[in-house]
Structure 1
Amino acid sequence: MLELQGLTRRYGTEVALDDVSLTVREDEYLTLLGPSGSGKSTLLRVIAGLEAPDAGRVLLDGRDVTGLPTHRRGLGIVQQTYALFPHMSVFENVAFGLRFREVAPVTDAAEVTRRVAAMLDLVGLSGLESRAPGQLSGGQKQRVSLARTLVAEPRLCLLDEPLGALDANLRERMTVELRRIRRALGVTFLHVTGNEAEALAMGDRMIVLDRGRALAVAPPAEIFARPADMRVARFLNAWNLLPGRGGADGFEVETPAGPLRLPAPAPAERAATYGVPYDAAWISRDDAPPRPGEAAMPARFVASEFLGSRVLYLLRRGDGKVFEVERHLSREAPESYALDETLAVRWRVADVGLFDEAGLRIPVPDPAGALA
C-alpha cells in the first residue's frame, strides 16, 4: 500500500531521517515508537507531504507521490492538538472535510447528514452534534478530530501522538476505541507515539525509530520478547541491562565486592550487555544456590510502586545500579519488604538476552533448536 524508500531529511547539519525504508500494509495498525527527537513527527510530515525529503521516495499503491501536495495524496491526519474549528459545532466540524475537499466534494445535504451521523455513531458521539468544541472533554474532542478525518474515507490515516493530551484513564479507553474503529472501517492506521505501552498494545506491527533510523520493524510481541537492539530494549522500559564481559562459560558483572558470574543461554564471548526482562525475574528471601537453568543475584530492597494491575519492585544491585522486578497481581499476590533488606533476584537463563558491543542482540538457540 504505502512504501517508503530511503527517506532522508536534514535540518542543516542535523539528520532527522536517515535512509528510512518501510512498507505499510493494507488494513493494518502500525505504531511508530521513539524518544523525543528520534524523527517520528518528521517521518509523518514527509509521508503527509507537509515536508519534502532531501532524498528518497514515498510511493502509494506503487505511484510516486513524493512531489504531490498533501491534499492530493488521499491521506487523513489526526493531530494531538485536535485542530477543531472552535466556531463550528461538532456536526459542522465533521462535515467540513466532506463539503470542501478538492476531489469529489459532497454537496448533497442529505448525504452529508447521513455520513456524518454514521461516523459520529461509530465514534460514540451521537447526540452531541450541536455542541461546540469548547463544551467537550478532551476525549470527545479527540473523537471529533478522528471522525472528521475518517468521514472522508482515507485509505491511510496518520495519527500524530493522538492520545498524548489525554489523562491516563481516557488514554486507556481510547486505545481500545481506536482499534475498534479501525477494524470497523478497514482503514490502515500509522500511529506515532512516545509511549511504549501504547505502541505495544495497539500495533499489529511496530517500528522503533532512533536518531532518524529504523532499529526494528516487527510485531510488538516479537520486539518485546527479543529486541534486536539494546536501544530498543531501553526504549521499551522493560529490561534490566547489565554491562560486563562475556565468555565461553558465562557473563561477568563487576561489583565492589568483585566480579559476579552469571550463566548465559549460549556461549557469550561477544556479549557486552546481559539483559533480564522485568517480568521474567522474581524476588526470593532464600539464599540457596540457583537451580539448573536459573540465575541469581544478591540485591537490597529500595522501594515498590503499585501500578494497578502490577507492582514494580526496585532493588539495588551489587554494583550500585537499580534492578527492577515486575509482579503481575493477576498471577501472584504482592509482597512487602523492609528498606535495605538483603534479598536475591532470580530468573530463568532461557529468558536472558545478550547484546554485543555495538548493542545488537546475539541470537541464541531456543528450546526447539532454532535461533531466537
Structure 2
Amino acid sequence: MSTVLQLSNVVKSYGDAVALDGIDLFLPDDSYVSLLGPSGAGKTTLLRVIAGFETPERGAIRFAGRDIGGVAPYEREIGFVFQNFALFPHLTVEKNIAFGLENRKNNPVTDPQIVRRKARDMIALVGLTGLEERAVTQISGGQKQRVALARTLVTDPKMVLLDEPLGALDANLRMRMRSELRSIRERCGVTFLHVTGSETEALAMGDTVLVLDGRKIAQQGDSDTVYNHPVSPAVARFLNCYNIFSGVIEGLVFKTAAGVFPVGATVQPCAQKAYAIRYDRIAIRPAGTPAGEGEIAFEGAFLASEYTGSAITSFFTLDDGKVFEVETHLSHAAPESYEPHGRYSLIWKKDDAIVYA
C-alpha cells in the first residue's frame, strides 16, 4: 500500500511549551486512520500542522509525493472537519455544502448548475437527500456532521482530517456514525485521519491506529496489534483495558507492591518497567483457590460491579490498596454475584500478561 502522508521529526512549540516533539509517522493511502491520545497530548495541534494552520519549527511534511512545508492550507488538497462542525447557520444544507466550491481561492466554481449538481451528488453520498433546502439549525447533530463532511468532500480533497468528529453526538448516534463515516470514506477512496480520545472509537474505526504519547507517536499498527500488544505501559493505560503494576524484574519474576508474579512468554523491551494483565483475561474464583500450572493467583476484596451491556466489570481492592478490574463477558456465562468486601482469588495465565522491562 502506498503512503499518502509522511512526517519526519516534526516539532511544534507554543512559547516554552512543546506540543509536538519529533513526530514521525506515515499514513497509507485509501485508508481510515485513528489517532488516539489523552487530552492535551497534541492531537489537534498535529492535525493543524498537517493542514497548514500551524507552522512547525522543525521537520518535514510530505503529502502525495511533494514537500508541503511551505504550502498554504488552501493549496494542500487536505480537507478539515472541525469538532463543532463550523456550519453557517443562515444557509441551507445545500448552500453550506456548495460554499467551498463557490468561494475557494483556487478555481472557484461559478456555474450555478455545476455547483448545484456537485452539491446534490455529495448530499446523496452522505445520505441527506430530501434535506437540501432545510436550514442547518433545523437538523440533528448527526445530520450536521454529515453536512460538515460533505462540505469538505465536495472540493475533492486527497485526504480528510477529522478533529473528534463524534464528540458532540450522543452515544447512540456516535455508534451509528462510526459505520457511516467508514462507508463514506470507502466510497470516496481517500484517507481519513480521525482524532479521538476514545479508545473504543479508535480501535473500532481505524484500519491503522496511531497512539500519541509524550508528544510523540508511541505506536502505529492495526487495531488488533495495538490492543493485544501495546508497546509501553502508557499505551496500555490509554486503552483502558489493562491492570498495570509498577515494579522491578528480577530473574524470572516481576516484583510489585501487590505481590511477586512469574514472568511469562511476553516481555516487551521498554524504558519504563511494568506488569500488565488485560481485564478480560482474569478469572474470579473462591478465596483460597490455588493457581494451576502456568497460572498466577492472588486475592482481593470485592468492591462493586458495573454492568456495561455485553459485559460486567468487577472491582477488587488488593492488599496494597490498588484497585484491580476484571471484565466478564456475558456471552461466556450468566453473571455471578459476589459478597461485598468478600475475598476472592484472581487468577490468570502468566503467558497472558505483558512484562515491560
Q: Give the alignment's TM-score, normalised by structure 2.
A: 0.94
Describe the superposition over 1:41-85 as per-residue Cα deviations: whole angstroms up to 9, x where unpaired. Answer: 111101000010000121112211111111111110001100000
| Number of equivalenced pairs | 352
Structure 1 residue ranges without an equivalent (≥5): 357-372
The one-letter code sitting in structure 1 at the alignment partner of 2:222 is: P
Describe the superposition over 1:269-328 as per-residue Cα deviations: whole angstroms up to 9, x where unpaired. Answer: x99321100111121125221111211120111111111222111111121101111112
2:149 alignment partner in structure 1: 146
**Are 2:78 and 1:75 equivalent residues in the alignment?**
yes
1:106 alignment partner in structure 2: 109
**Are 2:131 and 1:128 equivalent residues in the alignment?**
yes
User: Which among 232, 237, 240 is matched to residue 234 of structure 1?
Assistant: 237
The one-letter code sitting in structure 2 at the alignment partner of 1:335 is: E
Cα RMSD (Å): 1.8
CA distance 1:267–1:226, shift in 2 (3 Å): closer
Secondary structure in 2 aligned to 1:46? helix
The one-letter code sitting in structure 2 at the alignment partner of 1:327 is: T
Describe the superposition over 1:218-246 as per-residue Cα deviations: whole angstroms up to 9, x where unpaired. Answer: 11211111111111011111110112232
2:122 alignment partner in structure 1: 119
Q: Is the 8 A contact 2:289 2:345 kept in 1?
A: no
1:295 alignment partner in structure 2: 296
Secondary structure in 1 aligned to 2:157? coil
1:218 alignment partner in structure 2: 221
Q: d(CA) in 2 for partners of 1:91 and 1:348?
A: 57
2:94 alignment partner in structure 1: 91
Secondary structure in 2 aligned to 1:303? strand
TM-superposed CA distance for 1:105, in Å, is 2.6
Q: Is the 8 A contact 2:281 2:348 kept in 1?
A: yes
Secondary structure in 2 aligned to 1:180? helix
2:178 alignment partner in structure 1: 175
1:22 alignment partner in structure 2: 25
Where in structure 2 are the equivalents of 1:356-367 lying within 5 Å?
356=357
Q: Give the alignment's TM-score, normalised by structure 1.
A: 0.91
User: Which among 65, 68, 73 is matched to residue 68 of structure 2?
Assistant: 65
Greater shift, 330-339 or 85-94, is seen at 330-339
**Are 2:281 and 1:319 equivalent residues in the alignment?**
no
The one-letter code sitting in structure 2 at the alignment partner of 1:139 is: G
2:262 alignment partner in structure 1: 263
Deviating runs (4+, > 6 A) in structure 1?
none
TM-superposed CA distance for 1:168, in Å, is 0.9
Greater shift, 61-70 or 226-235, is seen at 61-70
* Identity among equivalent pairs (%): 48
TM-superposed CA distance for 1:266, in Å, is 4.5
Q: Is the 8 A contact 1:248 1:267 kept in 2?
A: no
TM-superposed CA distance for 1:330, in Å, is 2.5
Secondary structure in 1 aligned to 2:180? helix
Secondary structure in 2 aligned to 1:244? strand
Q: d(CA) in 1 for partners of 2:320 and 2:302?
A: 14
